[in-house]
A and B are shown apart, each in its own frame.
Chain A
Amino acid sequence: MSREAVLNGVIALGLLAVPLWAWAADEPFVITLATRVAILALAGVGLNIALGLGGLVSFGHAAFFGIGGYAMGILASHAQSYEPLMEWPVLIEGTRSMPVIWLVAVVASALAALVIGALSLRTSGVYFIMITLAFAQMLYYFTISWPAYGGEDGLSIYLRNSFPGLNTLDPIQFFAICYAILLAALFFTARLAKSPFGLALAAARQNAARVEAVGIRPYRVRLVAFVISAALTGLAGALFADLNRFVSPAMFGWNISGEIMVLVILGGVARLFGPVAGAALFILLENVLGGISEYWQVFLGLLLLGVVLFARGGLVGLIAGREATHD
């Protein structure tokens, strides 16, 4: 086993061990923190498919995070008020069932990514960064000025949604759901990276002209990767909204896009467990530094600057060394 595989195992077990300890020691706050780590890591795993594998620097993944959040908020608020979402041509009711909400979140963010990606991928480089950012901002202003679902104030959901056979209001059970989804997403990503599609995507990042020469259209491969990436981030958004039982336009904020990207980078770009390590570090810093100083983000900024300028490869790269297979 390579050092990275060992490290990945340590990270995965660590993220499981901490909340289990907290459960035994009756520290629900720590379980909530671990749940946030798992959810943010899931968002990061999503972004990492576009960013790490595909080399697509999307600065607008908050768009999908927010769409996932609003999918949960809208469905649950209709279930809460017993008003159907739509009566014509078919009757659609709100729901409290997590699997249904997840499905809607995934499909809605994938569809949004299909439109945003189809437009944004016509461009590349710096244009792509700015355009993805602009689309997220467009949804941000749309949710602020659309009064039907709370506008600027957002939507509060009084009860966490339900999952068959589990009590989701129990922190450890909700953590278990998020952790299981995160592991499934990591497994899926690992398989994806080794599949013909993942290889084509990585090749398109390294040399688009050659990929085109063997008969694969980079545009199409990238678009599919962007859609998959957005779907995972959208799922994370739905879970995040369920964790807080609250959605607001802030989920579409540009700083959310930045933070998802930051945790991918802190952990290590294109590393399977990079986002998990990064999310854990991010939450740890937020709570340790945040306890010392109200202005902890200054230190986060300095740390990030240090990682970008001097320690490329992030946390996983620092510990596990450079990848054995160079690209």
Chain B
Amino acid sequence: MSALLLIEQVLNGLQFGVMLFLMAAGLTLVFGVMGLINLAHGSLYMVGAFAAAAVAAATGSFLLALAASLTAAALAGALVELAVIRRLYDRDHLDQVLATFALILIFSEGTRWLFGSFPLYLDIPDYLSGPVTLPGGIRYPLYRLALIVIGLLVAAGLFLLIARTRLGMRIRAGQSDREMIAALGVNISALYTMVFALGAALAGLAGALVGAIQSVQVGMGEPVLILAFVVIVIGGIGSVRGALIGALLVGLTDTLGGALLPSFFSLFMDPASATSVGSALASMLIYILMAGVLVVRPSGLFGRV
């Protein structure tokens, strides 16, 4: 494999990783502040993608579509938090899993009801389509490069929000002691709704951005959700920094494993079985990574022990 191809795969891995981070950040924030495991996070990703596809089809503007994805997912998140999620904070994890599993069923089938079973398509706008030549003569799709930049900017923004603003201060306080900040007069239920909506908006944005390179369809959220779980288990649940490191690790491992393992096995196997062994192993690689991290650190890389 040539160096150019390798660099391209690294960029693909980065792109996958930053999108996973957008998903994982919301999950880990919600768990860190409210102690809630939210399976319906993948549904919010789907809501964002469908909102973007609908608005793009109506107006033709990609920027409006992105704005719609943020708004729709944040609204759906806030609504769900007010109606269902806030009854679950002092329940055990089993109840949370079941109630949010029920939400997945409602969201998925409801979306199928509204939009039908056929996938929708979200087009990449003209100003972001086509390849771009990077230093070193690598031609890489401009849109994917834009995804990496947007993802990193959002990550930086999120870190600033958490480290430098009043809301961020409250989020950090909520992570260390929920009862205490409620006792200090912070409107804790408003804070919870806000954190949930923030996480939902990030998931919705990721759905819209990824929706433009894949198709927008019912059930698109759950595979990403499960990967986001792997990310936050590796990074340590509740840690946004862990989510970023974990997301990049998972993105790079998955992409590079899929690209490199088959050619690695072909060094000492015949091509057909090298491809099958390589791709089978590559599909399991991130879970092996997760198991490895857990053996060494049961609460993740940045988790509180």
Which A residues are within 8 Å of any B CB, using their own CB? 51, 57, 59, 119, 122-123, 125-127, 129-131, 133-135, 137-138, 141-142, 144-148, 254-255, 258, 261-262, 265, 269, 295-298, 300-302, 304-305, 308-309, 312
Contacts and interface: CB of A to CB of B under 8 A. Distances in A.
B287 A126 contact: no
Contacts of B268: none
The size bracket of the interface on B is: 35 or more
B105 A300 contact: yes
A312 B103 CA distance: 17
B185 to A, nearest CB: 29
Contact of A141 (B93, B232, B284, B299): B284
A295 B105 CA distance: 10
B233 A130 contact: yes
Given A51-B94, A142-B280, A145-B283, 14 more contacts: A119-B295, A126-B31, A129-B37, A129-B93, A134-B230, A134-B233, A135-B287, A138-B284, A146-B280, A147-B276, A265-B98, A295-B112, A298-B106, A308-B95
Interface in B268-303: 276, 279-280, 282-284, 287-288, 290-291, 294-295, 298-300
B97 interface: yes
B123 interface: no
B283 A141 contact: yes
A277 to B, nearest CB: 16
B193 interface: no
Nearest to B36: A126
A147 to B, nearest CB: 5
Given A131-B294, A145-B280, A146-B280, A308 B110 contact: no
A133 to B, nearest CB: 6
A304 B294 contact: no
Contacts of B95: 308, 312
Contacts of A254: 222, 226
A305 B113 contact: no
B276 A146 contact: yes
Contact of A309 (B87, B222, B284): B87
B106 A127 contact: no
B109 A301 contact: yes
A145 to B, nearest CB: 5
A123 B294 contact: yes
A129 B167 CA distance: 30
B237 interface: yes
A279 B98 CA distance: 16
B254 to A, nearest CB: 10
Contacts of B264: none
